[in-house]
Structure 1
Amino acid sequence: MNTITSKFDLNGKVAIVTGSSKGIGKAIAQGLAEAGAQVVVSSRKQDAVDDVAREFSDLGLKAIGIQCHIGDAGQREGLISKTIEAFGKIDILVNNAAINPYYGPLEGSEEGVFDKIMEVNVKAPWLLSNHALEHMKAAGGGSIINISSVEGLRPGFGLGLYSATKSALITLTQNQAKEWGRYGVRANVICPGLIKTKFSEGLWADEALVSRFTKHLPLGRIANPDEMAGLVMLLASDAGSYMTGGVYVADGGYMVAG
């Protein structure tokens, strides 16, 4: 029987999650694997992805680790080719990997920093998606999920360059949805708020700052990484089959807070 809940089943699907050796990416990868997908865990260090893949396998989940620095063209192509070699197809691509090498005013940064953050946060997801598109088209469809940030919607202070890249990623996603829907490929973007990860430790480790921040949040707290996984699982599955070009926030109410 084809029930509504069965549409969340990802058995037989193949998913790549970049930046998935820890934090949000790891939680997303685990969620997809728990839903039945064969998951490619990817990040810059082979040891790190092997450890996560082994951890997932010990839980009875299907996962392999493939090293990929998404800022490197050869490694991006290798991630796609090795996934095809291992599983024969790509159904789901989650562009999660990102960097933020600079915190401070726009005029205080350097051109090289701008180039580096744009390379990883915008150019790499664009090109990696282009590589995956070929295989999704051949399969008759697929789901691309880009991980942006509320900073791309409502910029704060000190994160101007990061905010610019995350805003660009939102627009890129909408263009992917508009152009690739005819191939059965859906593209959506998720904008998390403040999540307790190593990536954002410089923010949440400051108790005074967190107290001021959460005081105005409707839910009154910052999130854990696994609270981002459910939305990705929806967008990756047939339960989200009519969802494309969407911009979804998971921010504890940050966007509606005063």
Structure 2
Amino acid sequence: MNNPATTPVVLITGALTGIGRATAVAFAREGAHLVVSGRHDDAGQKLAIELRELGAQAEFVKADVRNDDEVRNLVDQTVARFGRLDIAVNNAGTEGQPGPITEQTADKFAATFDTNVLGVLLSLKHQLRVMQPQGKGSIVNISSAFGKIGAPGASVYAASKHAVEGLTKSAALESVSFGVRVNAVAPGPIQTGMLDRFAGGEEVKSYLANGLPMKRLGEANEIANAIIFVASDTGSYITGQSISVDGGRTAL
């Protein structure tokens, strides 16, 4: 990947923690050029330094994926820095406020959907604006196993990830004739801060792990490896798909 003409330029939203961070590190180790994004300057700049120490050319651009202008600027700055955009990973997301459906409100719904669905839509909009004229590109949206099977106490989150699945398929069909692939990776329960907040304790995490055929939680780097495969030319015949990486959960 040392040839600038062939070194992939990768943009990752929600890159500062969890799966996004693991994916940024994995791409850096592959030698990619990186733009990482999130809402916190200090953490973003620290991550960019860490990625450079791994040998990557890396920049941090602060952006809130719920804001159209900020997402436009994020993509434009990526192209201004590296000349193109080859791979985008739309990882920014929130678990919202878990709880029974009877306790959900319009405000809770909007807060979750604004990040998980509107954020993906705006990201796709501006990424495809660049990739389609290029005649190539690969986008990976981060969905969830809960977006395929549902989960008690996670109705709004699951619904938002169902929407990501639909956005992925629609964007793939719109973009295939331009040479752009759009897929989703759907993690199961992964050991991240988001899972800690959702579960609220080790007892629930243990329950989730024991409900999986593999009998363990996943690790963020396992999702990162799947993202790299799906995004890369190795997965060149894959588009419009949602790849489950969930310890066998959706096989039950």
TM-score (norm 1): 0.92
Q: Paired residue for 2:165?
A: 170
C-alpha distance in structure 2 between counterparts of 1:195 and 1:23, whole Å: 9
Which of the residues 96, 121, 130 maps onto 1:126? 121
Give the corresponding residue for 2:188: 193
Residue 247 of structure 1 is aligned with which of 207, 219, 242? 242
Shift of the 140–204 alpha-carbon distance from structure 1 to 2, 3 Å rule, reads same
- Report the residue type matching 2:179 in the other structure: G
In structure 2, runs of 5+ residues without a counterpart are: none
5 Å-filtered alignment, 1:1-258, equals 11-203=6-198, 206-257=201-252
- In structure 2, what residue type is equivalent to 1:230? N
**Structure 1: distance between partners of 2:43 and 2:61:** 10
Task: Name the aligned partner's letter for residue 53 of structure 2.
Answer: D
SS in 2 for 1:200: helix
Cα distance in 2 for residues equivalent to 1:236 and 1:101: 27
Q: CA deviation at 1:120?
A: 1.0
CA shift at 1:203, angstroms?
A: 4.4
Alignment deviations for residues 113-160 of structure 1 (CA, whole Å, 9 cap, x no partner): 211211111112112111111211222110010000011001111110
Q: Which amino acid aligns with 2:48?
A: A
TM-score (norm 2): 0.94
The 3-state SS of whatever aligns with 2:7 is coil
- CA–CA distance in structure 2, aligned partners of residues 109 and 216 of structure 1: 26
State, as a whole percentage, how many aligned pairs show the same letter.
Answer: 34
Q: Which portions of structure 1, spanning 4 or more consecutive aligned residues, are displaced by more than 3 angstroms?
A: none
Give the CA RMSD over aligned residues. Answer: 1.6
8 Å CA contact retained: 2:36, 2:58: yes
Alignment-mate amino acid for residue 136 of structure 1: M
**Partners of 2:185 and 2:132 in 1: CA distance:** 23
**Contact 2:143/2:184 (8 A) holds in 1:** yes
What is the SS of the residue equivalent to 2:22?
helix
Uncovered stretches (5+) of structure 1, i.e. residues with no partner = 1-5
Gap change, CA 1:134 and 1:31, over 3 Å in 2 = same
Task: Describe the superposition over 1:41-70 as per-residue Cα deviations: whole angstroms up to 9, x where unpaired.
Answer: 111012111100101111212211111111
Tell me if structure 2 keeps the 8 A contact 1:11–1:36.
no
Q: Distance in 1 between matches of 2:122 and 2:207?
A: 39
Aligned to 1:3: none
Moved more, 161-170 or 114-123: 114-123
Task: Answer whether contact 2:98 2:198 (CA < 8 A) is retained.
Answer: no
- Which deviates more, 211-220 or 103-112? 211-220
Higher mean C-alpha displacement, 29-38 vs 136-145 = 29-38
Mapped contact 2:89–2:139 kept (Cα < 8 A)? yes
